[in-house]
Amino acid sequence: MAKRISLVFLGIILGLAGAELILRVFKLAPEVAWISRGRYRLSANAILGYEPVPGLKYDGKELTFYDYRSRETNREGYRDYNHDIRKKPGTFRIAVLGDSIAMGLWIKDMHDAFPLKLEAELKKKGVSAEVLNFGVVGYNTIQEVETLREKVLKYSPDLVVLEYCLNDTERNDGYLLGILLDQEKRSEKINAARVSRLLGWSALYRFLKFRLIQPARGQRELKIKKQRVFLSIDTVDLAFKKLSELLKDSGIELLVVIFPDFTDLNNYRRHKEHSRIISLARRYNFKVLDLLEAYRACNKQNHGRPLSFDQYHPNQTGHACAARAIAEKILSFVGSKPAAG
């Protein structure tokens, strides 16, 4: 009986190996590739939609969907240094969530964007700070919260800074997600984000999953449509609720930092939107910093010279202004002592 069972198992193994070989030789199984554009690729996580390409270094001339020309990219694809998962004893670790503001759009050197400026400001004040930048161009609040869940919490930050831009109630990615999804639809290859890392090497697995039992095209297109709609509507209330659930009993503080519309800081017209976010933050007992007054003060000190490139994106001076204000806010509830290990 044992020999018969052994022969059956051997036959199965040889049969599977033979099928694998045939599919590879005749190229019957779909190939796998990442669907990407510039610094970004489709994510396996439908809420993220897209994510930075890990470790991408780029010095070319074309900046469309590359956003900056430098090698300032860490192994996870963010515009930052590499950070160890385990923080050094005595370090106060801060994780920044945000969009193109946090990433430093049009800022040539990442040290001049507010996350690393913040780190420098805190170190000047005696805090052994380490700031991790998870800013991604075009992300809205729900995508930032999902980044916290999937990418950030493993680093065990002491504080999370949520950079809030007034356009975070909608998708503002320059149609990047749509381009990637359309590119996937036209591609003859299978998006690597949809393939199991463990089994994706197998031609037999790919053939069975994507040739024989994959969902009907209509179901796939409906799923993509729902994904686009979800990431394009106002999900800020839902995002703050998820933030509260994620950080409950974690011991991690959250600071919501509201960046203003730079169109006219003195005759400001968007107080109502600021009030909404302040109210939401307080509902969940988050700390909150509205940068409007800080920017008004910086505007006077700068003798009216621009603090931004456009309506939403601070220039180098504007980033430095934000970093100082955020550092002061953090010091007001942290003090000058580093974290206790």
Sign of CA dihedral 297, 298, 302, 306: negative
Q: Are residues 199 and 304 in the same domain?
A: no
Domain containing residue 190: 28-77+174-233
Q: Give the Cα separation of 93 and 132 in Å (integer).
A: 8
Give the CATH number of the domain where residue 164 resides. 3.40.50.1110
Tell me the mean pLDDT in the region 163-179.
94
Number of domains the chain contains? 2
Q: Is the pLDDT of residue 318 over 90?
A: yes
Q: Are residues 311 and 188 in the same domain?
A: no
Q: Which two tokens stand for residue 79?
A: 């515009």
Instruction: Identify whether 14 is part of a domain.
Output: no
Q: Are residues 162 and 245 in the same domain?
A: yes
Q: Are residues 213 and 96 in the same domain?
A: no
pLDDT band at 3 (very low <50, low <70, confident <90, very high): confident
Mean pLDDT of the residues in the chain:
91
Tell me the mean pLDDT in the region 282-291.
97
Q: Give the Cα separation of 300 and 284 in Å (integer).
A: 34
**Alpha helices by DSSP H, 81-175:** 100-103, 114-124, 141-147
Q: Is the pLDDT of residue 52 over 50?
A: yes
Identify the top-confidence range among 23-32, 153-162, 227-236: 153-162
- Point out the least confidently predicted range of 54-58, 271-275, 281-285, 306-310: 54-58
Give the type of residue at 196.
S
Tell me the mean pLDDT in the region 139-164.
97
Q: Are residues 50 and 195 in the same domain?
A: yes
For the stretch 250-266, pLDDT in tens is 999 999 999 999 999 99
Q: Are residues 318 and 242 in the same domain?
A: yes
- Residue at a domain's end among 213, 233, 253: 233
Tell me the mean pLDDT in the region 295-324.
97
Confidence (pLDDT) at 288: 98
Confidence (pLDDT) at 218: 63
Higher-confidence residue of 86 and 219: namely 86
Q: Is the pLDDT of residue 4 over 50?
A: yes
What is the β-pairing status of strands 159-164 and 253-258? parallel
Sort residue 40 into left (φ over 0), alpha (ψ -120 to 50) or beta.
beta
Q: Are residues 298 and 255 in the same domain?
A: yes
For the stretch 100-137, pLDDT in tens is 999 999 999 999 999 999 999 999 999 999 999 999 99
Confidence (pLDDT) at 341: 41
